[in-house]
Amino acid sequence: MSKQAIMAWEDLALGAAILSPGNAKELRTGDWRSLQPKLDEEKCIKCSLCAMYCPEFCISQDAEGFYRPDLYFCKGCGICANECPKEAITMVKEGD
């Protein structure tokens, strides 16, 4: 039999409740990604729209002022690329 469970039923909290608040930040949603956003710094005007539209709230400004996704969380949904007014973001296949 294949082992698929993450824990024994006896170890689950009452009603499978989550007792540690904010532990969603431990969930590596980046695992879901098949496409990765790639930024063309020549086209980027640092407007921050990509960060505002990101459903994962994982895009933040780096030291140079560019907006970069945290790939631990980025699901590769492509909303940032779709919303960018300067078409500075393109979605490229993982590993390319």
**Nearest partner of 89 among 42, 56, 55, 30, judged by Cα:** 42
Q: Coil, helix or strand for 35?
A: strand
Binders of other proteins in range 11-30 (CB under 8 A):
12-19, 21
- Which stretch, 2-10, 55-63, 69-77, 86-94, contacts other proteins (CB under 8 A)? 2-10
CB of 27 to other proteins, least distance (A): 10
Give whichever of 21 and 65 is closer to other proteins, judged by the CB atom.
21
User: How far is it, in rounded angstroms, from Cα 71 to Cα 74?
Assistant: 5
CB of 33 to other proteins, least distance (A): 18
User: How far is it, in rounded angstroms, from Cα 56 to Cα 73?
Assistant: 7
Give whichever of 22 and 95 is closer to other proteins, judged by the CB atom.
22
